[in-house]
Structure formats: C-alpha cells, structure tokens
Amino acid sequence: MLPAPHFLAPTAQRPAPQRAARLWQTTAFRAIAIATVVLAIAAVLVVAMVTRSANDAMSRATVAALDHEGAALRLAYAQGGLDALVRRIGERVGGGSDYHYRLNDGNGGRLAGNLRENPGFGTESRGGGTFRYRPASDDLRSDAEARVSPNANGERLAAARVFALTDRLTLIVARDVEQQRIFLAQTNRSLGLGVALLALLGLGAGIALARHILGRVDTMTAASRSIMAGNLAERLPRTGTSDEFDRLADSVNAMLDRIELLMAGMKEVSDNIAHDLKTPLNRLRNRAEAALADTRGGTAWRAGLEHTIEDADELMKTFNALLLIARLEAGAVDDTLAPLELGSMVEDLAELYAPAAEDAGLTLTWQRQAEGPVDIRANRQLIGQAIANLIENAIKYAAPSAPHDASPVGVTLTLRIAGNRAEVAIADRGPGIAEVDRDRAMRRFVRLEASRTKPGTGLGLSLVAAVARLHGGELRLEDNRPGLRAVLSLPMMGMGVVNVDARGAGPPVKDEQACRTAQAK
C-alpha cells in the first residue's frame, strides 16, 4: 500500500474576546467552554479519521489500478517479447493514457515510456511509492491546482509500481495523483475551518448563555436584597418558562409566603397575649389593692389573698398550656408512647363529663361505632387531655343561652374506625365556626368571640392540634348543621407509622403534671 501523503490542514485560532471577569467565572460559561473543547477535540479526531480513511481508500484504488496495468503489460511481454512490450507502451502513451511508463535496461537507461527521469525511490521488484515529476507540458496544471499548490514549480505528485520483467528489464508504471492530493488538501482545509467555526460558535453561545443566566441571577439577587432590606412583599421574578430558575423562584416564593404567614401569625399571637394577659393581671393587682385597703383586717385580707391565688392559678394555667404546646411542637415523645385502647378511655371521659354537661343543661351522648378494641400507640395523658379539651369546648359553646331554653341541645361523643385510623368525634349544636375561620381557630390565642367575654385563653384547639400532629394524626373542624363537629383522627397500631415529630427533633415530653393542669378552654 502506498504511504499516505502528508498535507498541512489549517488550524483554528482560539478567540480572545474581552469579557467581564465575573462572566468567565459563571458555571454556565465554564460548562459551555468545556463542552466546546471536548467537541472540538472530537471533531479533530473525526476529521483525522475521515481524511486518513479517504486517503487509504484512494491509495488502495490507485495501487489496484497500477497492478492491473502492470499485469497487462507483463502479459504482452510474455507473449510478444520486448518489441511487443515497447510497441504496447508506445500505443498507450500516444493514445493519451492516464498512466506514465518507463522501461529501463539493466543500467537504468530508458528504453520506452514518457517518464523522462527515474522516480526518486528504489526500483526493487514489486516496489513502488510516490514521487514528484515535471510533466512534459505545464498546461496540465489547472487553476485549482495552482491555488492549492502555488509553489509547486510545476511539479506534480504521482504514485508508481515497479515490475521486474527480467534481470535486465524493469518496468515502471505510474499514475498522476495530484487531484487526489488536491482533494485531500481541500477536504482538510474545509474540515479545519469547520472545526474552527464550531469552536467559535460554541464559545459565542457560551458567552451569550452565560450573560442570559447571569442576568437572571442578578435579577433574583436584586429581589433577594430587597427582601433582606425589609420589603417582605417582594418576590423572586419568574419568566413563565417553567425552567429551573422558575422552579427555584416558585420554591423560594412559597417559602417567603410561609414566612410572611408565620410572621403575621406571630404578630397576632403577640397581640392576643397582650390582650388576654393584661386583663387578669389588672384584676390581680386591683384585688390586692382592695384587700390592703379593706379595714376589716385579717378576714378581708385572707379573702383577697384567696382570690389573688385563684387569678394566679389561671395565669399559671395559661402559661402551662403555652409551655406544653411549645414542647409538643418542638419535641418527640417516642419513649413515652405505649399501647392504648382508645375506646375505654373515651368511655371513661364520657362518664366523667356527663355530670358537667347536665349541669350546663346539656346531654352528653356516647356512641361507640367501632367493634372490638381500638388500639393506638400514644401518650395516654396527652390524648386524654386533647379529648377532654374538645369535650369542654363543646359543653361551653353548646350550653343554652337561657336557663329554660326549650330547644333540645346536646353533645355527642363518637368513636369509629375510618380506614387505618381511629376517629374521635365531638359534635355539638352550638353556634359553630365558619369555614373560613376553622384553620385560624386552631392557632394559639385565637378567639373567634369578638367580645372575648367568655372564659378561656384560645389555647384549647391549638393544644389538641399539636397533640394530633405529634402522634401522626390531625384535628378536623367540620360543620354539624348546626354546630361544630371536631374530629380527632389518629393512626391505629400496625396500620401506619406514627409521626412523633410535629416540628422537628427535640427532647421528649414527660411533664404529666403540665398535661393535667393545662385546662385551656
């Protein structure tokens, strides 16, 4: 096989645009630059493989043609001798053949053929190679060839095969491959320019993409700084393309909405604390002053101190409820959980509160709709406190407005199984809670009574909701038509995983006394 000619292909120069330093430091630009370099290297390898494959294919075709022509001339020599070979070479040269011939004697002298000089390679048997030669006329040199090889001085490239006819006769058959060389040179040049253009376009796309992404990031950064400066109504901008930046903006905006809601809730809680604690503190102080000013002496002072202790107990009850809710929302009770048969507990609570309901002019009805034991894994004191709070709220708000109200009112306590959950429902026929206010009613210190004259702190439902979340359950407030239906839903044993972490990891709640004293109504 003929050795492949070597041609120099033009190489792409790396662009050096002047950009801001931060543009070069963007992840997008670096990724595009790396991808462009990898793609350019791959393109160069592909170009080299294509060029080599094309050159090898052309070389094999040329060698095959030369071997075929040499075989025909050797056959003529074998059949007719030297004269027939010389005549056949003359006929082919005179007929304008694409081949070039030279028949040498033992001393290298030309006996026939149109090659004026011996090729610049050895003339061993079955040898050959490429060489440069000057044709008899430079008219064969086309304009395209002149553009590709402007300094060739009229020389052309040819490939030759050497055939030893006898010890003293050597036949050289050559073929012009200048067009092949020109084609490969032009192919190398075109592919090289393509690789250079690919690199330039890749870097240009990287710069444009980096600028676009940097603009999006700068816009989001500006919005973030505005938020940090105190403009909590600001939100990260979206383009509506649902790309990764829009998804990030949606997540951050949702977080900001949640933070704004929590801050509004905190403000509401602070306002309610100030309102609900100011009245009992003032009453506590006034009773102490009245006892001191009473001239009856020890008896009046003792009565004043007893009333003061009662007011202090109410304040302690409020703070204990707040402390318990905070610990429930921040802590875990896994080491205090134990199997609990919920039916017997609810039945005991129904018997316990039946007299209180009767004193309030109500009937407390207990309905067990679940057959067999209803086993849950829970903290007994917390679940008991939660159900007790719901019963007390129902009794308080469902009580008749007049002592001899003829309308039959009552409280219904129900236990049933819904799927893999046990549900304790406390239904009353009181004023109920509007649907728009039900979520807000489960927040701390929220009291829907505008006058706030009824006793209570607004912590009862908040405590129940915290206990439910701590046990992997939920508290639902529904319409009883009329009245309110509060449903405490808890996962049953073996049917679900109890989520004992309502707000995050924290210490376990073990303060049973706080559970018993937190009668938040």
Confidence of residue 178 (pLDDT cuts 50, 70, 90): confident
Average pLDDT over residues 47-72: 87
Beta-carbon contacts of 47 under 8 Å, excluding residues fewer than 6 positions away, are 9, 188, 191, 192, 194, 195
Task: Name the band, by pLDDT with cuts 50, 70 and 90, for residue 379.
Answer: confident
How many Å is the Cα radius of gyration of the chain?
Answer: 50
Compute the average pLDDT of residues 300-325: 72
Of 63-72, 262-271, 412-421, 435-444, the least confident: 262-271
Task: Return d(Cα 300, Cα 296) in angstroms, integer.
Answer: 6
Q: Average pLDDT over the chain, rounded to whole?
A: 75
Give the per-residue pLDDT at 105: 85
- Asked if 424 and 411 touch (Cβ cutoff 8 Å), the reply is no
Q: What is the pTM of this model?
A: 0.43
pLDDT value, residue 362: 86
Residue-wise pLDDT tens digits, 209-258: 777 877 888 888 888 888 888 787 888 888 888 888 888 888 988 888 88
Q: What is the pLDDT of residue 107?
A: 82
Average pLDDT over residues 294-298: 72
Does position 141 have pLDDT exceeding 50, yes or no?
A: no
Judged by average pLDDT, the poorest of 7-16, 328-337, 419-428 is 7-16
Phi, psi of 47 (to 5 degrees): -60, -45
Residue 402, pLDDT score: 46
Going by pLDDT thresholds of 50, 70 and 90, the confidence category of residue 123 is very low
pLDDT of residue 122: 53
- Peptide linkage before 3 cis (omega within 30 of 0): no
Q: Residue 441 — very low, low, confident or very high, per pLDDT cuts 50/70/90?
A: confident
Indicate the pLDDT class of residue 514, thresholds 50, 70 and 90: very low
In the prediction, which pLDDT does 430 show?
82
Q: Tokens standing for 28?
A: 């997008």
Q: How many Å apart are CA 28 and CA 17, to the nearest integer? A: 17
DSSP 34-85: HHHHHHHHHHHHHHHHHHHHHHHHHHHHHHHHHHHHHHHHHHHHHHHHHHHH
Would you say residue 46 has pLDDT above 70?
yes
Using alpha carbons, select from 277, 279, 257 the residue that is nearest to residue 269.
Answer: 277
Q: Please say whether the beta carbons of 173 and 183 come within 8 A.
A: no
Question: Which residue matches tokens 């030759």?
Answer: 160
CA 182 – CA 3 distance, rounded (Å): 16
The answer to whether residue 519 scores a pLDDT higher than 60 is no
417 vs 520, more confident: 417
The strand pair at 99-104 and 170-176 is best described as antiparallel
Residue-range domains of the chain with CATH: 21-202 (3.30.450), 313-517 (3.30.565.10)
Q: Look at residue 1 in the predicted model and tell me its pLDDT.
A: 39
Q: Does 200 have pLDDT greater than 70?
A: yes
Contact 58, 180 (CB under 8 A): yes
Of 5-19, 431-445, 473-487, minimum mean pLDDT range = 5-19
- Contact between residue 455 and residue 521 where contact means Cβ atoms under 8 Å apart: yes
d(CA 176, CA 160): 9
Which tens digits make up the pLDDT trace of 63-115? 898 889 888 888 988 888 888 888 888 888 888 778 888 888 878 888 888 88
pLDDT of 182 over the 50 cut? yes
358 pLDDT band, cuts 50/70/90, is: confident
Tokens of 434: 């509007």
If you average pLDDT over each of 327-336, 389-398, 404-413, which comes out highest? 389-398
Q: Does the structure show a pLDDT above 50 at 363?
A: yes
pLDDT at position 456 is 55
395-427 pLDDT per residue, tens = 887 766 545 444 446 888 999 888 888 999 998
Grouping H, G, I as helix, E, B as strand and the rest as coil, residue 488 is: strand
Predicted confidence (pLDDT) at residue 457 exceeds the cutoff of 80: no
3-class SS letters over 203-256: HHHHHHHHHHHHHHHHHHHHHHHHHHCCCCCCCCCCCCCCCHHHHHHHHHHHHH
Helix (H, G, I), strand (E, B) or coil at 87: helix
Backbone dihedral region for residue 302 (phi beyond 0: left; psi -120 to 50: alpha; all else: beta): alpha
Three state DSSP letters for 149-200: CCCCCCCEEEEEEEEECCCCCEEEEEEECHHHHHHHHHHHHHHHHHHHHHHH
Containing 498, the helix (H) or strand (E) segment is none
How confident is the model at residue 458, as a pLDDT? 63
pLDDT higher for 499 or 64? 64
Least confident span in 71-85, 90-104, 128-142, 439-453? 439-453
Percent above pLDDT 90 for the chain: 0
3-state secondary structure of 346: helix
Least confident residue range of 7-21, 92-106, 323-337: 7-21
pLDDT band at 377 (very low <50, low <70, confident <90, very high): confident
Q: Let me know: does 222 contact 198? Beta carbons within 8 Å.
A: no
Reported confidence tier of residue 14, pLDDT bands at 50, 70, 90? very low
Q: Is the pLDDT reported for residue 138 higher than 80?
A: no
Specify the pLDDT at position 306.
78
Q: What's residue 140's pLDDT?
A: 45
Instruction: Describe the chain by its helix, strand, coil percentages, rounded to 5.
Output: 55, 15, 30
pLDDT value at position 2?
43
Give the position of tokens 């020890």. Answer: 298
Residue in 467, 512, 511, 509 with CA at minimum distance from that of residue 486: 467
What pLDDT, on a 0 to 100 scale, did the predictor assign at position 520?
36
